[in-house]
Amino acid sequence: MVPADDPYADVEETPEADGGRTALGPLARILPPSATVEGGRLVIGDCDAVELAERFGTPLYVYDEDSLRFECRELAEAMLGGPEGSQGLFAVKAFPAVAMATIAREAGLGILCSTGGEHAVATAAGIEPERLVLHGNNKSEDELRLPVSRLVVDSFDEIDRLERLGVDVDVWVRVTPGIEVGGHEFIRTGGVDSKFGIAAAQVVEAARRLAALPNVRVRGLHAHVGSQLLVKEETGVRDVMLPLLREVAEAVGEPVREVDLGGGMGLPYTVEDPEPLSPGDTARTLLDGWPDDVALTLEPGRALVGRAGVTLHRIGTVKEIEGIRTYVAVDGGMSDNIRTPLYGARYEFFLANRADHPGSRPVRIVGKHCESGDILALEASLPEAISPGEVLVTAATGAYCFAMASNYNVVPRPAVVLCRDGEARLAVRRETVEDFLRLQAFPDGSS
């Protein structure tokens, strides 16, 4: 996944007595490029993970900042090779931190937002409306009026609303191309039976209606057929979208020259997962043979940020049920990573202070929430002797973990730190119980 000009290509590759990158074994592939082992301990961005857990508390989301910057720059630079107007967007929902949107902007990416809230995050990062695209299957009237470069129109009801509100905007039409691909049912979005988009057969009609509105300009088509697609060009979405674009251009009688093929580039979460193309490589592959009069947009989220992040938890309770299994409980759980309960996502786990010892003791890793489904791993392997207080690492949690965090059981949401050259900077402070109480009314009538 990491190209030859990777700035980390020279990371330690020779085994050392107590560390180096090779000490991570097969885990190295799913950890950020700066991840290494020193004295048995995991180090990211030259910051010791055990020290980070002490300094910032746990649970904690830790990112390798250079890795975030590298993946964003790779995509931005690859898109420069496309026809005029081609661009990369970061789907900010995958990691909606102002610090991350800033990194995307500095790398030359725009931002894909799906709500007014995400638009506010991007705007707080100093991103101009010219670099913002808004999509979503049920935008509010306020959202339809947000300043953006392109609005992705999702339904005929939305066309009615645009007409009624008189919104002045450049639009793409969201197409459901009728392609069933991707991982879990809940992360597929391109089939006909989807809440997203307008069926390919009705797209020309939608474009005609939009073009007839005095303040609306139809610029192109948009599709996003799902997440965790390992090789983008194999989905066939380009072969649906390019002919459809020509049809739409003919029907509206204006140049319509933009195609957004969505995000959904894959991320290996476990050591067995296949190696997908990176966003940059996906862009280069698609642009090879791409028509030179059609601007291409790609908008990955997960693949730009997933591998750069890990989560640190502290182990609190180890409960062995003789002949059945061992439960290892940590100080977070479904509040900081809902993906396993939600879609049976799988991750790799290891101890931060024994990063070179994967271990072979089968355990179930659970959180502290009042749900039996609060499970981080149905089955994982950890070292034989596990002590309360040790720091557990979950790999590849950079995407959709912070984003989907909740404060269930009034467990405050974790902090986010970005690590680079031995410096850890706080990107999002830990939520407090006071933050939670601040929204509430009290018995004395105050609030």
- Which residues lie near ligand PLP (CB under 6 A)? 91, 93-94, 112, 135, 224, 227, 262-265, 299-303
- Whole-number minimum distance, CB 229 to ligand PLP, in Å? 8
Number of Cβ within 10 Å of residue 239's Cβ equals 12
Q: Which amino acid is at 358?
A: P
- Whole-number minimum distance, CB 305 to ligand PLP, in Å? 8
- Whole-number minimum distance, CB 112 to ligand PLP, in Å? 6
Q: Nearer Cβ to ligand PLP, position 73 or 135?
A: 135
3-state class (DSSP) for residue 75:
helix
State the catalytic residue, choosing from 47, 113, 370, 401. Answer: 370
Please list the residues that pair with 378 across neighbouring strands: none
- Whole-number minimum distance, CB 189 to ligand PLP, in Å? 7
Strands (E), 187-306: 198-199, 216-222, 258-260, 295-298
Q: How far apart are CA 13 and CA 16, in angstroms?
A: 9
Annotated catalytic residue 370 = yes
Q: Nearer Cβ to ligand PLP, position 267 or 417?
A: 267
Q: How far apart are CA 98 and CA 89, in angstroms?
A: 15
Q: Which amino acid is at 437?
A: L
Q: Nearer Cβ to ligand PLP, position 93 or 238?
A: 93
Cα(first)–Cα(last) distance of the chain, in Å? 51
Q: How far apart are CA 354 and CA 436, in angstroms?
A: 36
Q: How far apart are CA 384 and CA 334, in angstroms?
A: 25
Please list the residues that pair with 309 across neighbouring strands: 63
Q: How far apart are CA 347 and CA 349, in angstroms?
A: 7
- Whole-number minimum distance, CB 266 to ligand PLP, in Å? 8
Q: How far apart are CA 120 and CA 114, in angstroms?
A: 11
In terms of Cα–Cα distance, which of 139, 142, 217 is closest to 173?
Answer: 217
Say which residue the tokens 């995307």 belong to.
Answer: 104
- Whole-number minimum distance, CB 315 to ligand PLP, in Å? 30
Contact 176, 191 (CB under 8 A): yes
- Whole-number minimum distance, CB 101 to ligand PLP, in Å? 14
- Whole-number minimum distance, CB 154 to ligand PLP, in Å? 10
Q: How far apart are CA 109 and CA 121, in angstroms?
A: 15
Phi and psi torsions of 311, nearest 5°: -115, 135
Q: Nearer Cβ to ligand PLP, position 91 or 132?
A: 91
- Whole-number minimum distance, CB 95 to ligand PLP, in Å? 9
3-state class (DSSP) for residue 91:
strand
List Cα–Cα distances, 182 to 85, 347, 358, 395, in angstroms: 28, 18, 30, 22
Contact 186, 168 (CB under 8 A): no
Q: Nearer Cβ to ligand PLP, position 227 or 394?
A: 227
Please list the residues that pair with 265 across neighbouring strands: 229
Q: Nearer Cβ to ligand PLP, position 82 or 300?
A: 300
DSSP secondary structure, 235-268, as one string? G-HHHHHHHHHHHHHHHHTS---EEE----B---
Angle, CA of 229, 376 and 402, to the nearest 5°: 65
Catalytic machinery residues: 370
